[in-house]
């Protein structure tokens, strides 16, 4: 792993080069406080900016929201949530990769991949106080922010703006999930792979083919043969 010490936007970051599958490199900001700089409380407020195209939020509301966040560093393979546990947090990925998966007939079924600048939780468990029916695991080291569900619900009550942000975020989530469902129903395995190739080529660099295959609803071997047919 090549390490560059470039300072970026904030003085509180290293700029790392993370090696990905296929000899590709990706810039990932790893949050580290540097000892010889003045102490300032880090905050996810800058990262939330990347979400403003989905839902708007004023500076004041962003500060209020960010104030309830706590930082969490993760290494590769950490579990944020395991099946059967009660999900207590909503996470925001500053850097790092995550996946959601569950077991079916002793096989892992990957249902989602999540990268920088996205929120992530098990909403059913968080909201309905039921045991989670899938795991959330990191697949690359990184830095997250998290909010406890009690804080989240309080923020919703305190700030109509944050409540509206939450609703708009959910609208976005639902629309994406609905599109994903339609996509699964109408496309055959080859069409599904081709559309990933054209619309999310980065996904192929960040998840293994084995993981991708269950996401596409096909076996590892079939995905391998589709790739051969297309090359």
Partner DNA sequence: CATATTATGTGACGTTTGACACAATCCCTT
Partner DNA sequence: AAGGGATTGTGTCAAACGTCACATAATATG
Residue 174 interacting entry, from a second copy, DNA, none, C-beta within 5 to 8 Å by type: a second copy
Report the residue number, 177 or 208, with the smaller CB distance to a second copy.
177
Residues 167-206 touching a second copy, rule: CB under 8 A, are 167, 170-171, 173-175, 177-182, 184-187
Between CA 84 and CA 105 the distance in angstroms is 17
150 binds a second copy (CB under 8 A): no
Q: Which of 109, 208, 215, 230 touches DNA (CB under 7 A)?
A: 208
Question: Does 84 contact a second copy by CB under 8 A?
Answer: no
Distance CA 120, CA 96 (A): 12
Q: Binder to a second copy among 13, 31, 134, 147 (CB under 8 A)?
A: 134
Smaller CB distance to DNA: residue 62 or 99?
A: 99
Q: In the window 151-170, what residues touch a second copy (CB under 8 A)?
A: 156, 160, 163-164, 166-167, 170
Closest distance to a second copy from the beta carbon of 143 (Å) = 26
What are the two backbone dihedrals, phi and then psi, of residue 170, each rounded to the nearest 5 degrees?
Answer: -65, -35
Q: DSSP readout, 140-197? A: EEEEEEEEEHHHHHHHHHH-HHHHHHHHHHHHHHHHHHHHHHHHHHH--HHHHHHHHH
Asked if residues 78 and 143 have their Cβ atoms less than 8 Å apart, the reply is no
Comparing CA positions, the residue from 142, 69, 70 lying closest to residue 99 is: 142
Considering only residues 6 to 45 of the shown chain, the ones binding DNA according to CB under 7 A are 19, 21-23
Least distance in angstroms from the C-beta of 121 to DNA: 25
Q: Which stretch binds DNA (CB under 7 A): 52-60, 83-91, 177-185, 222-230?
A: 222-230
**From candidates 57, 93, 98, 226, binder to DNA by CB under 7 A:** 226
Residue 104 sits in the site that holds a second copy (CB under 8 A) = yes
Q: Does 86 bind a second copy (CB under 8 A)?
A: no
Alpha-carbon gap, residue 134 to 218, rounded angstroms: 19
Query: Can residue 201 be called a binding residue for DNA (CB under 7 A)?
Result: no
Residue ranges that bind DNA, judged by CB under 7 A = 19, 21-23, 188-190, 208-210, 217-228
């Amino acid at each position: 792993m090549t390490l560059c010490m470039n300072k970026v936007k904030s003085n509180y970051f290293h700029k790392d080069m993370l090696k990905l599958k296929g000899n590709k490199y990706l810039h990932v900001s790893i949050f580290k406080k540097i000892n010889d700089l003045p102490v300032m409380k880090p905050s996810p407020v800058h990262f939330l900016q990347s979400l403003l195209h989905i839902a708007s939020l004023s500076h004041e509301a962003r500060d209020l929201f960010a104030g309830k966040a706590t930082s969490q560093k993760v290494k590769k393979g950490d579990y944020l949530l395991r099946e059967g546990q009660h999900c207590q947090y909503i996470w925001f990925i500053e850097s790092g990769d995550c996946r959601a998966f569950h077991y079916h007939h002793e096989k892992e079924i990957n249902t989602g991949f999540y990268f920088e600048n996205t929120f992530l939780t098990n909403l059913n468990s968080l909201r309905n106080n039921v045991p989670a029916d899938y795991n959330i695991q990191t697949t690359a080291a990184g830095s997250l922010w998290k909010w406890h569900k009690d804080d989240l619900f309080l923020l919703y009550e305190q700030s109509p703006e944050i409540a509206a942000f939450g609703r708009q975020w959910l609208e976005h989530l639902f629309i994406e999930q609905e599109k994903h469902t339609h996509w699964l129903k109408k496309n055959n395995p080859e069409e599904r792979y081709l559309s990933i190739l054209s619309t999310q080529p980065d996904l192929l660099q960040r998840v293994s083919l084995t993981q991708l295959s269950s996401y596409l609803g096909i076996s590892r071997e079939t995905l391998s043969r589709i790739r051969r047919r297309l090359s």
